[in-house]
A and B are shown apart, each in its own frame.
Chain A
Amino acid sequence: GQQVMQIPQYQHVQEGEDFTTYCNSSTTLSNIQWYKQRPGGHPVFLIQLVKSGEVKKQKRLTFQFGEAKKNSSLHITATQTTDVGTYFCAGNAGNMLTFGGGTRLMVKP
């Protein structure tokens, strides 16, 4: 079945440093979604990418969808303590989402 892998599993950064998480799917995706889950919280939708090579920005967050629609990345510029949480990508190859294992971001003030 479809598998979605995310790296790294954990990332510690100093506040102000940049952060990137990478997502790879074993199959071609119709779209990819990104979620953020704060400690003790539930996944909150951030963005959806649909087109091959698509790039979208939300303030300090930049999301990319690969040309082959099998990989994606999330880059945060100048991290803040409010960015703390686990970032999940989720691939959609039908009617169900397959989530990656997530990247847990910790930011030292």
Chain B
Amino acid sequence: DTGVSQDPRHKITKRGQNVTFRCDPISEHNRLYWYRQTLGQGPEFLTYFQNEAQLEKSRLLSDRFSAERPKGSFSTLEIQRTEQGDSAMYLCASSLGLATITDTQYFGPGTRLTVL
């Protein structure tokens, strides 16, 4: 399968613990995006990378959240000191990133986080 992959698919943690998610984009895709989706809502943009550079961050991304894409390929999203309000589906998407206007994003299966 050459689509976007995410690991783990499910994560249950206790409040206050740190969690890290991984996203592997479609190979040769330059852009990688992170979104958060809660039940009954559309995905909300968190941040995106052009190659290894993090170019935009939403104000939803508090200082407990950090994302990296060290070699311009896979990316990690870490949440420190998790809170119950962090429970959501975390979606990763990638795109070619060659042209802004016609850039199509392809989503991975997501990581469902439950904070107890």
Query: Is A33 interfacial (CB-CB < 8 Å)?
Result: yes
Q: How many residues of B contact A (CB 8 A)?
A: 25
Contact flags (1/0) for A89-109 with B, using CB distance below 8 Å?
Answer: 010101111111110000000
Stretch from A41-49, A55-63, A71-79 at the B interface = A41-49
Instruction: Assess the B101–A97 pair: CB atoms within 8 A.
Output: no
Query: Is A31 interfacial (CB-CB < 8 Å)?
Result: yes
Give Cα A92–Cα B106 distance, bound, in whole angstroms: 15
Residues in A with CB closer than 8 Å to B43 are 43, 88, 90, 97, 99
Q: How many residues of A contact B (CB 8 A)?
A: 25
CB proximity of B23 to chain A, nearest CB, Å: 12
Contact flags (1/0) for B79-116 with A, using CB distance below 8 Å?
Answer: 00000000000010000000011111111111000000
- By secondary structure, the A interface counts as strand
Instruction: Assess the B101–A50 pair: CB atoms within 8 A.
Output: yes
Residues in A with CB closer than 8 Å to B91 are 42-43
Residue of B nearest to A88 (CB): B42
Chain B residues engaging chain A, CB cutoff 8 angstroms: 31, 33, 35, 40-45, 48, 55-56, 58, 91, 100-110
